[in-house]
Amino acid sequence: MSNNELDLVKKRAEEWLQGSYDEATRQEVKKMLAGDEKELIDAFYRDLEFGTGGLRGIMGVGTNRMNIYTVGKATQGLATYLKKNFPDLPVIKVAVAHDSRNNSRLFAETTARIFAANGIKVFLFESLRPTPELSFSIRHFGCQSGVVITASHNPKEYNGYKAYWDDGGQVVPPHDKNIIKEVEKTSISEVKWEGNSQLIELVGKEVDEIYTDKIKALSLSPEAVAANNQIKIVYTPIHGTGVTLVPMVLKKYGFTNIISIPEQNIADGNFPTVKSPNPEESAAMSMAIEKAKETGAELVMATDPDADRVGIAVKNDKGEVVLLNGNQTGSILIYYLLTRWNELGKLKGKEYVVKTIVTTDLIARIAKGFNVEYFDVLTGFKYIAEIIKQNEGKKIFVGGGEESYGYLAGEFVRDKDAVMACALIAEAFAWAQSKGKTLYDILMEIYVKYGLFKEYLVNVTKKGKEGQEEIARMMESFRQNPPANLGGSKVAIVMDYQSQQTTNKITGETSVINQPKSNVLQFVNEAGDKVTVRPSGTEPKIKFYFSVSASMKDKSAFTETNAELEKKIAQITKDLGL
């Protein structure tokens, strides 16, 4: 960093020694100015930005940290933007919820007070609630916006601020950028910290009942559940918000044998029993898997702190408890939904499913197999919500999801919903049982019918300002010099979502990508293998998504075919220098 840039960072920090900042904050800034230069730079070199998951960062002092001041500016900017967008409404309404993380209640109450100070009616949940329930409540209360305080599955040092629009989906362009412009124009002195407390209404159990009843109405196989209601299900909320509602909805579906892990039922932002509360990581599910082995449970489910993602484990053909990845779970769920919709005569030709561009193409194959339309969208569930909004009243959304363990069915929630997903996964298990099969058997049948798709994710972490710059250089390098070969096959297609252009490297032909601009690259070789490269919108990472596939003649060929695909992934990883 140059001296001029460092001077600007110090100037930004020194502004926090004046004005509306509390004494504890000022003392912390003084320490940073007198101490570690790197810590000072990381805390003040920029403002937190809305990415694919909204505002998210490490908690602490600074413009690049989650604290009451960054939350305050974001809320004041959002309040101003809402007033500009809904000038004719007598009362603008918002819903506010939070997860179990440290400071989440403080940030949620701060958010509610600032909205109220701006004359906006607030429905504030009385205690922690899942993110999908916040999405539901926006439409339920007829709100124009909503906020949930959460950092989803990030480590304990993080917290975040997700902003939603009146459809219950996270804000998408142009609203996200325009809100940021309002936030950037807002100084701390302009934040209205205290207002009319009469505008804040606490809500809770009455919404829980309505929301879980809506999930119950999605049930497609009540007879199968009734016949198999004793199946042993291990469920853990990993110290998060699923602790009440997931067991509630499983019981509403009819399941009676739900096994919990008492140590992980405690809502705790320090997540004391896990290194990271992310069900995508096997370590986060280790206690649940051990419990399944002890009790002989057939299904294991774990939700992240805000209960929008779910990881599952099932028994394989050898009786071993094995983890399924997000692509496998999503494929089973879509296959189950479409199979039952078809059997019940509900597929009329207007139905569709949605997945993200980094999610397995197996879902597309399944949709085509049922002659059901499917959509590919950019990474981020807000883009799935946008498709639902665009098709509302014209087509019917069956379900959708993303590889990062987020799934949705029905149209009353507009974000990924692990409460709903747990219920439908358990029902799919009961449906399989009624046919004398397991979910693992169903997965193998899907592979035989549609092909074995194998995905792999490599995360390269680059923290701080230097890391951001290095990630930018890596993306530019791939953009200017795409790989010529992947896995022993020539790269045939390069898709650049930033320039919104697809280039056929064999013919030289180009075409337009009909998606919003995004810093994403995709490389497809002549064999059909695909690599997607993108910086994370919520973490200091650059992500490499691999997708390879092969036909599988029967279930007995799984081990051999899977090993062949693993070799191909290893070669592609080597080709990319990872």
> Is-contact 71 61, C-beta < 8 A?
no
> What pLDDT, on the 0 to 100 scale, is given for residue 50?
64
> Is-contact 510 501, C-beta < 8 A?
yes
What band does 60 get if pLDDT is binned at 50, 70 and 90?
very high
Q: What is the architecture, at CATH level 2, of domain 452-575?
A: 2-Layer Sandwich (3.30)
Does the active-site annotation cover 549? no
Q: What are the contacts of 467-472 at 24+ separation with CB within 8 A? A: 467/540, 468/540, 471/535, 471/540, 471/541, 471/542, 472/535
N-to-C CA span, the chain: 27
- Say yes or no to pLDDT of 552 above 80: yes
> What pLDDT, on the 0 to 100 scale, is given for residue 37?
86
Q: What are the contacts of 256-260 at 24+ separation with CB within 8 A? A: 256/229, 256/230, 257/229, 257/230, 257/231, 257/232, 257/233, 258/233, 259/232, 259/233, 259/234, 259/235, 259/291, 259/292, 259/295, 259/297, 260/234, 260/235, 260/236
- Only one residue has tokens 């205690």, namely 127
- Say yes or no to pLDDT of 52 above 60: no
Instruction: Determine which of 46-55, 213-222, 252-261, 370-379 has the lowest per-residue pLDDT on average.
Output: 46-55
Quick one: average pLDDT of 176-203?
Answer: 91
> Is-contact 227 150, C-beta < 8 A?
no
Both tokens of 121, joined, read: 């009616």
Examine residue 174 and say whether the peptide bond preceding it is cis (omega within 30 degrees of 0).
yes
| 3-state DSSP percent of the chain in helix, strand and coil, to 5 | 40, 20, 35
Quick one: average pLDDT of 235-246?
Answer: 98
> What pLDDT, on the 0 to 100 scale, is given for residue 165?
97
Average pLDDT, the chain: 95
Q: How far is CA 84 from the centre of its chain?
A: 29
Report d(CA 325, CA 404) in Å as an integer. 8
> What pLDDT, on the 0 to 100 scale, is given for residue 280?
93
Report d(CA 486, CA 523) in Å as an integer. 9
Buried-state track 275-306, b at ≥16 Cβ within 10 A, e below 16: ebbbbbeeebbebbbebbeeeebbbbbbbbbb
> Is-contact 167 89, C-beta < 8 A?
no
- Say yes or no to pLDDT of 350 above 70: yes
Question: Distances from the Cα of 162 to the Cαs of 146, 171, 286, in angstroms?
Answer: 8, 8, 29
Question: Distances from the Cα of 406 to the Cαs of 222, 226, 307, 381, 477, in angstroms?
Answer: 24, 27, 10, 8, 31
Quick one: average pLDDT of 145-172?
Answer: 95
What band does 540 get if pLDDT is binned at 50, 70 and 90?
confident
Q: How far is CA 366 from the centre of its chain?
A: 23
What band does 46 get if pLDDT is binned at 50, 70 and 90?
confident
Catalytic residue among 104, 152, 331, 547: 152
Report d(CA 421, CA 222) in Å as an integer. 16
> Is-contact 534 521, C-beta < 8 A?
yes
Query: Which residues are within 8 A (CB) of 482 and not within 5 positions of it... i.e. 6 or more apart?
Result: 491, 494, 505, 521, 523
Quick one: average pLDDT of 49-73?
Answer: 86
Q: What are the start and end residues of each CATH 3.40.120.10 domain in the chain?
A: 65-203, 211-437
Quick: pLDDT tens for 116-144: 999 999 999 999 999 999 999 999 999 99
Q: What is the pTM of this model?
A: 0.94
- Say yes or no to pLDDT of 385 above 70: yes
What band does 47 get if pLDDT is binned at 50, 70 and 90?
confident
CB atoms within 10 A of CB 260: 17
Q: What are the start and end residues of each CATH 3.30.310 domain in the chain?
A: 452-575
Report d(CA 311, CA 279) in Å as an integer. 5
Report d(CA 494, CA 33) in Å as an integer. 46
> Is-contact 261 236, C-beta < 8 A?
yes
Burial tier of 353 (Cβ tally within 10 Å: 0-12, 13-18, 19+): buried
Q: What is the architecture, at CATH level 2, of domain 211-437?
A: 3-Layer(aba) Sandwich (3.40)
* DSSP-based three-state secondary structure for 58: strand
Tell me whether strands 489-496 and 501-504 are parallel, antiparallel or unpaired: antiparallel
Report the half-sphere exposure of 526 (CA within 13 A, side-chain side). Answer: 8
> What pLDDT, on the 0 to 100 scale, is given for residue 443?
98
Q: Which residues pair with 322 in a beta bridge?
A: 314
> Is-contact 448 441, C-beta < 8 A?
no
Q: Is the CATH number of domain 65-203 3.40.120.10? A: yes
